[in-house]
Amino acid sequence: MSELELRLIALREEIDFPPTPALSVAVERAVALAPARRRRLRPLALVLAVVLVAALGVLALSPGARSAFLELFHLRGATVSRVEELPEVELIERAELLGVPVTLAAARRRAGFELADLGEPDEVYLRGDGLVTFVYGSIERPRLLLSQVRGMVWDGFVKKVGARGTSVEEVEIEGERGLFVSGDPHFVMYLDSMFRIQEERAYLAGTTLLWNRGDVLFRLEADVELAEALELARAVK
């Protein structure tokens, strides 16, 4: 026997090992308790199932609740699918007014602020004043335009509308003021980053929603009514 083996044997005699636990007793106790635990969980599972069914019913009936549900669980896929189902809208302004086509990565680098979207756009345009426009569909057959630029909703726009074929309704989105613009044809007015008044015709023959998040002005154009425009705006992330 080697010297190492002799030392290990001697060391074994000097060390006090703790008693081996009664594993069989612990296992039997766990098995006995398992059915009781499952029985206690069944009522909770039933309550959760009832709550889920009720929630689904509310979501089916209420666009507002459905929007809140999408925000809570970040179900962007549902919103993207809805955008893809929107009808095509006639482009009534020259595409050149949107700026030049760029990649999404280039737009993110050059915007100067964090861009938000409704899912990856099909086309991206960047204008000299920093306006970034996401096109869903194609520029020849668009379904929705989402533009963003540093600027502000202008209070004076409502007073300037008059009888110019444009209707403006004040709304609130995530605690900030917005304007829902409709009419055929219609235009929009806003303040740019230098607080200068800008006036532009709508790009699409649909409706337009303007709203702010901080110092970024969003502009959503599509063939949608107010309720759906608000739902889409809240889904912009």
Q: DSSP of 117-146, one letter per residue?
A: -SSS-SEEEE-TTS-EEEEEE-SSSEEEEE
* Helical (H) or strand (E) element with 88: none
> Is 68 a residue whose pLDDT tops 90?
no
Q: If pLDDT is split at 50, 70 and 90, which confidence band does 155 have?
A: confident
Q: Is the pLDDT of residue 90 over 70?
A: yes
Q: Provide the whole-model pTM.
A: 0.67
Distances (CA, A) of 68 to 27, 74, 117, 210, 233: 46, 10, 17, 20, 12
Tell me if residue 153 falls in helix, strand or coil.
strand
Q: How many CB atoms lie within 10 A of CB 84?
A: 13
Predicted local distance difference test score (pLDDT) of residue 71: 45
Every domain of the chain and the residues it spans: 1-61, 88-235
Residue 44 pLDDT grade (very low, low, confident, very high; cuts 50, 70, 90) = very low
Pairing of strands 207-213, 132-137: unpaired
Find the mean pLDDT for residues 190-215.
94
Say what the pLDDT of residue 30 is.
55
pLDDT bracket for residue 192 (50, 70, 90): very high
Q: What is the pLDDT of residue 37?
A: 44
pLDDT interval class at 11 (50, 70, 90): low
Are 176 and 213 spatial neighbours (Cβ–Cβ below 8 Å)?
A: yes
Q: Report the length, in residues, of the chain.
A: 237
Mean pLDDT across the stretch 178-206?
Answer: 91
The more confidently predicted of residues 231 and 32 is: 231
* Residue bearing tokens 């015709």: 201
Q: Return the number of other C-beta atoms located less than 10 Å from residue 74's C-beta.
A: 10
Choose among 174, 158, 157: nearest CA to 233: 174
Residue type for 225, please?
E
Residue 118 predicted with pLDDT over 90? yes
Instruction: Give the containing element (helix H, strand E) for 160.
Output: helix 156-160
φ, ψ of residue 109 to 5 degrees: the values are: -70, -35
